[in-house]
Chain A
C-alpha cells in the first residue's frame, strides 16, 4: 500500500494523507489514570519492578531528560535481563548511544520499540534486523497524542525524577541530577497504568513540582539516576565556522526581509552551533530595531536564557533543558515555563507552542526536490536520529526554514528523493545553504516578498545541479530488503517505512 507521498507502507495501517488531515479527526482521550491514595516508597528498584508484575507483552516507558547520562533505563534493562522477561515493548521518548538495550533486543526480551529519536548501538542493532517486531518512530507531539488516545498504551512508566518529596511529588528542577523541565514525561505520568518515580534526591516537601503524587504509584530512591556530565551539556557555543556563520547571517537577513522579526514574534531553533548562530543573528536584529518577542520555545539553552534575561522575550516555553544555565533558569525564573510534550506539539492540543510559532529553524540530513526532509536515516540507511519535534514544529510554524551546507562529508544533502521522509515537503518552506536559498514553490507569498531580495534566491533544482557540479553525483545506495519499522506522522498515519541498512 502506498500513501499520498508515494511511499510504501505496511498494509492495515493508516496511510499518511496530508499534514493537516488531523483537522478532520476527533481528538481521542482515554481516561486519565485513577488517582492513587498514597504513593508507596519501595526499598529498591528491583522491589518496585517485581511489584509491577511485569509480564511478556507489556509496554514500559521512559523519558529521555537525562539524555546520555540516564542510568534508570539501564537499571530497568538489567532487571528485564535478570528476570528474562520476553516480548516487551519499550517506549522511551528517545534512545541515546549510552542506553544498553542491544542485548535485550537480540535475546528478544524487547521485541518492539516506540520512540521519537534514536542513534548509536541500539539503532545499529535494529538496522541490522535484530528487532523481532517493529520500530515505530513518532514525533514528540505525536507520542503525546498516541499516549492520550490509547494507541500507545503504557503498562508501567519508569520515570527518572531528579527530586521527589515524601508525598511522591516529583520535579526535575534541582537535585544532584537536575535536568530542568520533565516535559516529555507528562503524558506517561498522566496515562500510564502504573507510574514509578525513580530518584536520588528526597526532600520533605516540594513547593512546586511538575509530576503530582496523585498519579504516582511508587517511588524508588537509588544512589544515582544519572551521570550529570551526560545529562546537561556545558555551555553550548555559537559556531565559529565561517560557512555556518554565513548561513546564519543569510537566514537572519531573510527573516528581516520577510518582516517576521517584529514585536510579539515567536521563534524556535535547535541547540547546535549554527542554530545558535541564527539566534544570535536574530538577537542582533532585535537589539538594533528594539524588538521584543513573545516567546522562544523547544529545547532551551543558556543562550535563550540570556535573551530572556535581557528582556528580548516575554517567556521561554521549555520542553527540555539543554544546559545548566537553562536548568537554573527553569528553577528560578517564573517566565521560564516548563511545558509538556503535548502542550508543545500535540496536533490536537489547543494553542500548542508549535502552532504559535512565527518561524522555526531546523536541520536536515537530506532534503529532496519536493522539500521532503529526512532526519531519520543517513545516505547509507543507518538510523541516525528521528523527528523529535521536527515534523511538529515544521507544521505548526508559519515559516519553516531548513539551514544546511550543500554537502556534508562530500555527500549532497539535496536529493532527487530522500531515503526516508520524516517531515513532508508541504510543511517545509525555505532551504538556506551557503551557496543559495531555495523557496518552496508552494509558498508563492514568500517568493513574492523576496522578489527584490539581495539574497541569492535559486530553485532547489538549481542548488542540486550546483551541488553535483561541485561534489559529483553520488552513486545511489539501494534500500535494504527487510522492513524493520515505520515512521508515524503526528496524527498517527504512516508517512514512511524503515528498512534494514544495506551497510550490514
Chain B
C-alpha cells in the first residue's frame, strides 16, 4: 500500500505512527517509513507524519524522521496550546539545521482543545487544523452517528477559526469505507459549515471527497466568465456590471477569484466554453 501512496490523487498523504501502529511495532513502522521515503522514487505530493503524543517515549524518535528531508509536515495528536508551541519550537530548530520549513497540523480532538483553539491555530507554522471526530466524541461521552449532528458545532467553530486565520479546516474521516452515500453526505455537511478539506481512511474515499471539495467544471467556467467580464468592465470604469442578466459586484468577484485559486491549487484544468 505504501508503494502506491502517490497514485490516488490525495493532496497529501498522512503516514500514521500513532493509533494504527501497535505499541510493540513503533520502531518497525518508523524503519519502514524511513526506507520508503528514502528509497521510493515517487512520493505523494505532500508527506505528513502523524506522530505519537508528546508525552510518549516514541514522540522524539518519530520526529527524527524529519532528517530524511522527505517530510512536509507533522500532525500532532490531542493538540493543546502548550504541545503545539513546543512542537513549533522544536521544528524551528530543525528548520534552521535542515534548511526547510515544516507544516504543523494539530489534531483537535479534546474538548479542552476547543477552549484553546484560536491560540493553537495561531502558533507559527500551523497551516491547518484537523478535527478528530472519534476521539472528540469519546472525550465528550457522546455517540458518533452517520448523520454527524454531534459534530455541527465543533466543525463550525474549527472552520470559522481556520478561515479567520487563513489556514485549512480539515474534516474528520468518515469511518465506513463501504458507505459512499454516507461519506458524500458527511463531506457535504462539513463543506456547508466551512471545512475546506477532509481526511480519508481508504483510497476509494478520495474521489468522493474531491468531488465535494474541488470546484466543479461549471463553477470554474462561471468564475472564468465573471473574471473575464470584470476585466472588460474595469476597462470601461465600471465597478458593478451584469453578466447573463445578473448583477456582479465585489463579493461575487471575490468568490470567483477564490474558485480560480482553488482550481489552480487542485490542478483542475479550466474547461472551454461550449460553442
Interface residues of A (CB under 8 A from B): 242-243, 245-246, 249, 434-435, 452-454, 466, 469-470
Contacts and interface: CB of A to CB of B under 8 A. Distances in A.
Interface in B141-155: none
A17 B149 CA distance: 67
B42 A469 contact: yes
A470 B42 contact: yes
B207 to A, nearest CB: 6
B8 A466 contact: no
B25 to A, nearest CB: 23
Contacts of B6: 435
Contact of B270 (A242, A249, A452, A466): A452
B7 A434 contact: yes
B136 to A, nearest CB: 28
Q: Name the 5 nearest CB pairs between A and B, nearest first.
A: A242-B203, A469-B41, A434-B7, A452-B269, A435-B7
Contacts of B42: 435, 466, 469-470
Contacts of A434: 4, 7
B268 A470 contact: no
Given A435-B7, A469-B42, A242 B204 contact: yes
Contact of A245 (B41, B204, B270, B272): B204
A249 B41 CA distance: 25
Nearest to B3: A470
Given A452-B270, A454-B269, A470-B40, A249 B7 contact: no
B271 interface: yes
Contact of A453 (B4, B8, B207, B269): B269
B269 A249 contact: no
Nearest to A434: B7
A152 to B, nearest CB: 45
B100 interface: no
B124 interface: no
B40 A452 contact: no
A249 to B, nearest CB: 6
Contacts of A435: 6-7, 42
Interface in B198-255: 202-204, 207
Given A466-B42, A469-B42, A470-B41, A246 B268 contact: no
A470 B6 CA distance: 12
B184 to A, nearest CB: 13
Given A466-B42, A469-B42, A470-B42, A452 B272 contact: yes
Contacts of A242: 1, 4, 8, 202-204
Contacts of A246: 7-8, 203
A454 B217 CA distance: 10
Interface in B1-60: 1, 3-4, 6-8, 40-42
B268 A243 contact: no
A452 B268 CA distance: 9
A245 B41 CA distance: 23
Contacts of A243: 4, 7
B248 to A, nearest CB: 25
Contacts of B204: 242, 245
A452 B1 CA distance: 30
A46 to B, nearest CB: 55
Nearest to A456: B9
Contacts of A466: 42
Contacts of A452: 269-272
A64 B1 CA distance: 38
B52 to A, nearest CB: 26
A249 B207 contact: yes
Contacts of A469: 41-42
A59 B203 CA distance: 53
B216 to A, nearest CB: 11
Nearest to B269: A452
B63 to A, nearest CB: 28
A435 B44 CA distance: 12
13 contacts: A242-B8, A243-B7, A245-B204, A246-B7, A249-B207, A434-B4, A435-B6, A435-B42, A452-B270, A453-B269, A469-B42, A470-B41, A470-B42
Contacts of B202: 242
Interface centre among A246, A249, A453, A469 (most CB of B within 10 A): A246
A249 B204 CA distance: 10
A42 B4 CA distance: 60
A238 to B, nearest CB: 12
Nearest to B210: A454
Given A466-B42, A469-B42, A470-B42, A454 B268 contact: yes
A468 B3 CA distance: 14
Given A246-B7, A435-B7, 6 more contacts: A245-B203, A246-B8, A435-B42, A470-B3, A470-B40, A470-B41
